[in-house]
């Protein structure tokens, strides 16, 4: 495992990157802080997604030391003025949008603490695997602050505004199994198996057409914000585009020839 290319010092040390068989593995590497997301780590994540290594077909994200992420590093936020907090939040929105809109699918392997900003980060990922021992929590309300990394939008879409409100008011914690039932995770696995499952899914996803993976991520997200008739039209356009290139030709030929497709 190597540090993020093109970065040096603290930024490189706190985000580790390994690329193997078209799958990039990002490891949040602040185990002494349960991988709390400070400004340097957010900058490193931003830098990676701004220049994903060529030929990457899937991205797996995990945390070092038994935790995915305990959230925002509050030690950097004890004394900030309102406009500074606003700017910080908007930068998080920009970086989280870069992940959510990545044409390369992102798979989160979540264990231990998945709290606050860590859950906001996880919610941007396209596929989420949680271990049974995960602790999903939004504790900001208990600390006298409001979410700022996109959770009021993304997490509310996953579990509903009513349940998000209750989570924040009470500091309620959900397990991996409960989170899977609610929509915080797509898969739940026994303790210690999230990373293996994430790589299994990444390997499957990496065999898809890269064009179709991008269409799935980008078109469904946009269609979800449209009125029904506009969504139907956008679906037809996307279908037409998807069926007019070499990937569609290969996929259909492979089906007729009863063999796995090989997408370039």
Catalytic residues: 120, 140
| Burial (CB count within 10 angstroms: exposed 0-12, middle 13-18, buried 19+), residue 162 | exposed
Query: Locate tokens 């044409």: which residue?
Result: 103
Q: Report how far residue 153's alpha carbon sits from residue 150's, in angstroms, rounded to the nearest whole number.
A: 6
Q: Angle CA(8)–CA(92)–CA(97) in degrees, nearest 5?
A: 100
R_g of the chain computed on alpha carbons: 19
Q: At what angle do helices 117-124 and 151-159 cross, to 10 degrees?
A: 70
Whether 124 and 106 have beta carbons less than 8 Å apart is answered as: yes
Contact 158, 120 (CB under 8 A): no
Q: Exposure of 204 by Cβ count < 10 A (0-12 exposed, 13-18 middle, 19+ buried)?
A: exposed
């Amino acid at each position: 495992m190597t540090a993020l290319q093109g970065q040096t010092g603290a930024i490189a040390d706190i985000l580790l990157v390994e690329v193997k068989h078209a799958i990039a593995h990002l490891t949040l590497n602040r185990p002494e802080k349960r991988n709390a997301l400070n400004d340097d780590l957010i900058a490193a994540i931003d830098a990676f997604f701004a220049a994903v290594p060529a030929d990457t077909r899937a991205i797996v994200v995990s945390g070092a030391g038994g935790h995915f992420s305990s959230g925002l590093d509050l030690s950097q936020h004890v004394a900030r003025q309102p406009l500074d907090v606003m700017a910080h939040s908007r930068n998080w929105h920009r970086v989280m949008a870069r992940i959510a809109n990545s044409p390369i699918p992102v798979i989160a392997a979540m264990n231990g603490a998945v709290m606050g900003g860590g859950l906001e980060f996880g919610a941007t990922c396209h596929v989420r695997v949680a271990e049974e021992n995960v602790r999903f929590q939004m504790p900001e309300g208990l600390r006298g602050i409001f979410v700022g990394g996109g959770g009021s939008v993304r997490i509310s879409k996953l579990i509903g505004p009513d349940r998000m409100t209750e989570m924040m008011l009470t500091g309620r914690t959900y397990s991996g199994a409960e989170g899977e039932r609610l929509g915080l995770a797509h898969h739940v696995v026994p303790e210690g198996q999230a990373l293996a499952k994430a790589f299994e899914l990444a390997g499957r996803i990496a065999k898809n057409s890269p064009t179709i993976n991008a269409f799935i991520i980008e078109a469904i997200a946009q269609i979800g914000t449209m009125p029904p008739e506009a969504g139907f039209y956008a679906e037809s356009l996307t279908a037409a585009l998807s069926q007019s290139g070499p990937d569609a030709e290969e996929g259909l030929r492979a089906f007729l020839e009863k063999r796995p497709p090989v997408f370039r």
